[in-house]
Amino acid sequence: MSFFGFDATLPRDRGHQNNAPGFSQPHDAFAGLSGRGAGAEDDALDFEDTYDGLADQLDEGDDVLNDDTFGGEPATQQNVGRDFDFSGQTARIAGTMQEEQMLYNARQPPPRASPPKKASKPAATGYEKYKQPEYIPQLEANASIWGLGPKKTAPAAPAAPAAPTYAPQAYAAPQPAPAAPNRRMMSLEEVEAMIRTQSKPQPPTQQAPPMEIPNVASFLGAPAPAVQPQAPPQPQQPQYPGFAGPPQILQRPHHAEQRPPQPQPQVELPAPSMPQHPQILQRNRTPQEPEPASQRQMPRPAQAQREQRESPQPRQILQNPNRLSGQGQPMSPQAHRSQDMGRGVPKGPSHGRGPSFQGQVITDPQQILQLTEEERAQFLAEEAKRAKRNHKIHLLSKDNGLMTPQDKNFITRIQLQQLVTATGNIDAVDAGPEAALVEDFYYQVFSSIRGAPRASPNQPANQFAQTYLFATHGRYGRFGARGPHGRGDNHMQRMEQQVQRAVEAAKAKPKNKQLVIEGSLGKISFSNAKTPKPLLNIKRPDSADARPASAGNRRTSHGMPVLDRKRALRDIENVYSTLLELEGHERHIPPPLTEDSTADEIQAHMEWRSKLQGYNERLWRELKVMEPIVPNSPTPHSFIAILSHAKGKKAIPRIFRHLDEQQRITILTIIVVHLDSLDVIAHALPSSAASPPPAQLPPAVREEIELFSQAIMPPLFSYVNDAPLNIVAGLLGLVLERTHVSLVLRTKIGLAILTMLVSRAELAKQSAPSDSTDADSWNAQFSRLFDVAEPVLPYLFPGSVVGADDVHVWQFLAAMGAAASPEQQQRLVLGVKERVMETVAVARTLPGELKERRLGEVNLFMRAIGLDVELLG
């Protein structure tokens, strides 16, 4: 084989060509022919790839004239000349050979183009009709694609898998097996050397018929040194017509050299002495034809018959390689397939989705390479159209089917749950308005009281909240209780049902707030918008345990203001929390009892009452009003401590609502008893007994005073205004006994409380003058008060006359004046005369309204004692 320039080696054996420069070109030429076939060296060459269809042009009928052409003598070693020189002469013109080959290829495009075409389309029909029993129609290089393993070829043609090159196709027929193992191609020099050396010693034996075929085979397949010499001339000739690749290579040299080797075989081949020769020739030739033959329904039956008879296996080998050969031709059957795929797959995407569309794109280049210009153009046009449509569909439907119905359900559930937790507690569904209040207290209450004018900022809002919530009961917490819910009721109902179902599902699941993964050291805590993940998880000690400890601490640390303050603050908070619970409980009041009330309702009412009572007692306890009064203690009474904080003061009006008469008077009593330790009085006290009250108190103190007069005075007033005279007298007595009245008198709150008591007593005396004992006791108390107050009368007024805020003083003086006896009134006038004159004088210099106000204030007192500012002239 190598002799003829065929590359008989497996791709893996081709390394030798480096040693054979003269024959490297033939291989290259071949590569040029087979196109991409040479590219992937590892795969076997396909016959189709290398076959140029020249055999089609061969007129087999003229074979009979071979003898005429070549001479009748058998080819003998003798008449085969040795005047060839391939490695010398031929190698030198290797470049020319290459060029010639290129030229040849260029000049004969049709035969080149046709074989693939034939292979691609007619091949299928041709093989269908080829119904040899041994024939394995589907054998392909990548037969595995078709589900047929290469095993099938193995038994039929052992050499085929190993050497699917054209070499075995053509010549390895008789004995393929021995040829396959060591197909070591000799370089031309080697062959020539062998021929020259070995032809001489063994001329006679070479013509032995039995040896002929093996010789040829072994020569072609693998160098068999002993036999090779004779063979070369013989196969040389038949190659021209058949093989596209090698013949061209060979022809070129022949043309260039006037085909020197050709004449010799021509003479020799038909030689009668070699009966097998024709067969060999034919067999040599058939390899060139099997492909066309099989595809064209065996134009020469005789030949085919002979071939079949002689060697069915070679036949298969010959055919199989056509199919088997990996790279060039294999494309042709593949082209069919991929074309089918190309047409099939494209349709897929249009009905399907993205992925298959992409897959098709990937296969495209391969297909297109196999198509003719026309087909390609058409295909590309179609493809473009289809791709455009698919792209559109793809764009439209790119998210189709991403979620299963289950997924959607799942998401809906999550959203609904979020909705539930966003508007209220999960328990909101059953718990009622209270639950909405739990989550949304501020908003609910605020919106309930908004717009409604509030009598005072400390008026309990929850009364409003209560009515509000009852009014909106039933549609409280869907999306917050605001906005009209009328529209979309149907939709809302469905929503509600869904929410309910979702909530039930959520409840059914055990609540797992933490996940401890086995083997891990930490915990994973879940969070949602309502209950954010706690960054610190502090286990609080039970407050019951903590309280005694701090209490003990408190007891031992008398006089430590910090602890007192803390204690007071804690007390206040306890009061508030109880107060909140109490108010919450109040909202749960059962429907009022009627005569028709059932036992259950009555029972509920009773329970509610008792519970309310429990709250009340708790609140009372926490107010610490009943703590023992320790005279002259450095620590203020607990209740007074509570009152010394702003929020404690703010709690009083709310607490008063829930207290009964007895509790109220107790509170009043405690306050009165501790008047001078009240912060609003103690902090406002003048530095010395003789000095007037500080004109300008610190802002914080002024704020407290303001707050006290706004928060605590009204409930006290409201109580005192109903109090009987004896109680008022008793209270005044307590003030006189327990406090430094002279100091208390010089504070705003002190004056206010005394004014309150005195004025109430006067009213009580007038409304119920009957009880003389009470009046007597009151008069006694008042006289004591007057005696204490008289010396400090000039110092009652805070600050200077100009711009002083002294209305409370005038009020007190007015109350005193009203209650005083005529003699006391005289003393009173004397005591404050100077201040009255100054004030009136200043007031007269003031512009209209201010002047009126100041004069009015003074007049409060003046009129109380039967005088008027106007009289002062």
Partner 1 sequence: MLFFSFFKTLVDHPVTVELKNDISIRGTLKSVDQFLNIKLDDISVVEEVKYPHLSSVKNVFIRGSVVRYVHLPGSVVDTALLEDAARREAAQASAKAKAG
Query: Which CB atom, from 224 or from 461, has the smaller least distance to partner 1?
Result: 461
Strand (E) or helix (H) holding 617: helix 599-623
522, 531, 537, 865 from 540: Cα distances, Å: 20, 18, 9, 64
Query: Which CB atom, from 392 or from 513, has the smaller least distance to partner 1?
Result: 513
Provide, rounded to whole angstroms, the least separation between the CB of residue 424 and partner 1. 9
Phi, psi angles (nearest 5°) of residue 802? -75, 125
Provide, rounded to whole angstroms, the least separation between the CB of residue 491 and partner 1. 21
Strand (E) or helix (H) holding 514: strand 514-515
Query: What residues contact residue 721 under an 8 Å CB cut-off, 6+ apart?
Result: 760, 763
* Residue 373 near residue 118 (C-beta atoms within 8 A): no
Q: Tell me how far apart the alpha carbons of residues 106 and 650 are, in angstroms, rounded to a whole number.
A: 109
Provide, rounded to whole angstroms, the least separation between the CB of residue 415 and partner 1. 13
Provide, rounded to whole angstroms, the least separation between the CB of residue 583 and partner 1. 9
* H and E: helices and strands count for the chain: 46, 2
Query: Which CB atom, from 493 or from 531, has the smaller least distance to partner 1?
Result: 531
Q: Tell me how far apart the alpha carbons of residues 505 and 869 are, in angstroms, rounded to a whole number.
A: 81
Provide, rounded to whole angstroms, the least separation between the CB of residue 571 and partner 1. 14
Provide, rounded to whole angstroms, the least separation between the CB of residue 442 and partner 1. 4
* Residue 693 near residue 745 (C-beta atoms within 8 A): no
Query: Which CB atom, from 531 or from 603, has the smaller least distance to partner 1?
Result: 531
Provide, rounded to whole angstroms, the least separation between the CB of residue 461 and partner 1. 5
Q: Indicate the DSSP class of residue 246.
A: H
* Residue 74 burial (C-beta neighbours within 10 Å; 0-12, 13-18, 19+): middle
Provide, rounded to whole angstroms, the least separation between the CB of residue 704 and partner 1. 16
Query: Which CB atom, from 230 or from 444, has the smaller least distance to partner 1?
Result: 444
Q: Tell me how far apart the alpha carbons of residues 716 and 239 are, in angstroms, rounded to a whole number.
A: 132
Provide, rounded to whole angstroms, the least separation between the CB of residue 520 and partner 1. 20
Q: Tell me how far apart the alpha carbons of residues 474 and 236 are, in angstroms, rounded to a whole number.
A: 107
Q: Tell me how far apart the alpha carbons of residues 2 and 18 are, in angstroms, rounded to a whole number.
A: 14
Query: Which CB atom, from 440 or from 564, has the smaller least distance to partner 1?
Result: 440
Q: Give the residues lining the site for partner 1 (CB under 8 A).
A: 422, 438-447, 449-450, 457-458, 461, 480, 482, 513, 529-531, 537-540, 542, 573, 576-577, 580, 647, 650
Q: Which two tokens stand for residue 431?
A: 């718990």
* Residue 834 near residue 793 (C-beta atoms within 8 A): no
Provide, rounded to whole angstroms, the least separation between the CB of residue 833 and partner 1. 45
Query: Which CB atom, from 457 or from 698, has the smaller least distance to partner 1?
Result: 457
Strand partners, 515: 524
Q: Tell me how far apart the alpha carbons of residues 764 and 818 are, in angstroms, rounded to a whole number.
A: 13
Query: Which CB atom, from 151 or from 540, has the smaller least distance to partner 1?
Result: 540
Q: Tell me how far apart the alpha carbons of residues 104 and 97 are, in angstroms, rounded to a whole number.
A: 10
Provide, rounded to whole angstroms, the least separation between the CB of residue 751 and partner 1. 27
Query: Which CB atom, from 414 or from 768, has the smaller least distance to partner 1?
Result: 414
Query: Which CB atom, from 576 or from 719, has the smaller least distance to partner 1?
Result: 576
Q: Tell me how far apart the alpha carbons of residues 705 and 697 are, in angstroms, rounded to a whole number.
A: 10
* Residue 629 burial (C-beta neighbours within 10 Å; 0-12, 13-18, 19+): middle
* Residue 321 near residue 164 (C-beta atoms within 8 A): yes
Query: Which CB atom, from 461 or from 757, has the smaller least distance to partner 1?
Result: 461
Strand (E) or helix (H) holding 524: strand 524-525
Q: Which two tokens stand for residue 201?
A: 């010693």
Q: Indicate the DSSP class of residue 515.
A: E
Provide, rounded to whole angstroms, the least separation between the CB of residue 530 and partner 1. 6
Query: Which CB atom, from 439 or from 586, has the smaller least distance to partner 1?
Result: 439
The label of the residue with tokens 């749960």 reads 588
Q: Indicate the DSSP class of residue 75.
A: P
Query: Which CB atom, from 650 or from 748, has the smaller least distance to partner 1?
Result: 650
439, 507, 508, 526 from 512: Cα distances, Å: 21, 11, 12, 8
Q: At what angle do helices 713-720 and 661-673 cross, to 10 degrees?
A: 120
Provide, rounded to whole angstroms, the least separation between the CB of residue 725 and partner 1. 35
Provide, rounded to whole angstroms, the least separation between the CB of residue 485 and partner 1. 16
Query: Which CB atom, from 316 or from 448, has the smaller least distance to partner 1?
Result: 448
Tell me how many degrees the CA angle 21-22-23 measures, rounded to the nearest 5: 90
Q: At what angle do helices 94-107 and 245-256 cross, to 10 degrees?
A: 120
Provide, rounded to whole angstroms, the least separation between the CB of residue 535 and partner 1. 13
Query: Which CB atom, from 482 or from 609, has the smaller least distance to partner 1?
Result: 482
The label of the residue with tokens 């109090």 reads 723
Query: Which CB atom, from 514 or from 721, has the smaller least distance to partner 1?
Result: 514
Provide, rounded to whole angstroms, the least separation between the CB of residue 455 and partner 1. 14
108 CB-side CA count, 13 A: 18
CA 736 to chain centre: 75
Q: Indicate the DSSP class of residue 90.
A: I
* Residue 236 near residue 3 (C-beta atoms within 8 A): yes
Query: Which CB atom, from 395 or from 538, has the smaller least distance to partner 1?
Result: 538
- 412-432 as b/e, with b when 16 or more CB fall inside 10 Å? ebeebbebbbebbbbebbeeb
Amino acid (1-letter code) at residue 644: S
Provide, rounded to whole angstroms, the least separation between the CB of residue 700 and partner 1. 17
